[in-house]
Amino acid sequence: MGDIPNHIRREAASKDVKPTVRVGRSGLTEALVEEVDGQLRQRSMVKIKVNRGVFDRENLALLWETLVERTGAELVLSRGNVGVLWRR
């Protein structure tokens, strides 16, 4: 961890990259983890947007931590209700 290339960080912060996964009222489900993992197999970076009001700040941090742990990815960016995961 910590060795994320700068071009990946820039791409993750870009507004041109749209979220490909949305987290709704169901929250963190096995289907969500499988979807994120599947997308990470197809491309190295996945942008995830959490619907407003679904998680508070602490639970949002726990969501990112759990997704990182279960997918083997790294959290590149966590800003508000958007997170970007990257896997080599």
CA distances from 27 to 4, 52, 66 (A): 27, 12, 12
Whether 21 and 36 have beta carbons less than 8 Å apart is answered as yes
Per-block mean pLDDT, blocks of 10 residues, the chain (88 long): 86 94 94 97 96 92 96 96 96
pLDDT at site 43: 94
pLDDT at site 2: 63
Domains and CATH numbers, the chain: 6-86 (3.30.110.60)
pLDDT at site 47: 98
Supply 54's token pair.
């679904």
Nearest to 19, CA basis, from 46, 43, 55, 40:
46
| pTM for the whole structure | 0.91
